[in-house]
Amino acid sequence: MTQTKKLIPPKLGLLKLAEKLGNVSEACKLMGYSRGSFYRFQKLYEKAENWHSKRAAAASPC
């Protein structure tokens, strides 16, 4: 298992927990992350989503 595969799931779990609870602070407390880390993970996740959607659009036939 690569280091990336070990590091990403807990961060995605934090994003999902915050969405489920509707409270970023509570999710961060439960998972042991700072709110700053949460927002950094969220920004990286959004960048990755945008990159994947652009890549898929470029690869799809017209």
Number of domains comprising the chain: 1
Asked if the structure places residue 7 within a domain, the reply is yes
Asked if the structure places residue 14 within a domain, the reply is yes
Question: Average pLDDT, whole number, for the chain?
Answer: 91
What does the DSSP 8-state code read for residue 60? Answer: S
Mean pLDDT, residues 10-35 = 97
Asked if the structure places residue 62 within a domain, the reply is no
The residue with tokens 């036939």 is: 61
Its pTM stands at 0.79
Domain span including residue 36 = 3-57
Q: What pLDDT does residue 62 have? A: 59
SS3 content of the chain, % helix, strand, coil (to 5): 85, 0, 15
Taking the C-alpha atoms of residue 24 and residue 33, their distance in angstroms, rounded to an integer, is 10
Taking the C-alpha atoms of residue 17 and residue 26, their distance in angstroms, rounded to an integer, is 9
Q: Answer for the pair 25, 35: CB distance below 8 angstroms, yes or no.
A: yes
Mean pLDDT, residues 30-53 = 93
Q: What pLDDT does residue 19 have? A: 97
Asked if the structure places residue 29 within a domain, the reply is yes
